[in-house]
Amino acid sequence: MSRRVLVLNADYSAISLCTVPKAFLLVYLDKAELIASSDGNMLRTVNTNYPMPSVIRLNKYVSVPYKGVVLTRQNIFKRDNNSCCYCGSKKDLTLDHVMPKSRGGKTSWTNLATACRRCNTKKGNSTPEEAQMPLSVKPFRPTFIMFLREFDKSSEAKWLPYLSKKSSY
CA atoms within 13 A on the CB side of 60: 5
Query: One-letter amino acid identity for 6?
Result: L
* Higher pLDDT pick, 64 / 35: 35
Asked if residue 12 lies in contact with residue 1, where contact means CB atoms within 8 angstroms, the answer is no
How confident is the model over 76-132, as pLDDT tens digits?
999 999 999 999 999 999 999 999 999 999 999 999 999 999 999 999 999 999 999
Report the distance separating Cα 24 and Cα 40, nearest Å.
16
How confident is the model over 61-73, as pLDDT tens digits?
999 887 778 899 9
Domains of the chain, earliest start first = 4-66+144-163 (no CATH), 73-123 (1.10.30.50)
Query: What element of type H or E holds 57?
Result: strand 49-58
The chain-wide mean pLDDT, for the chain, equals 89
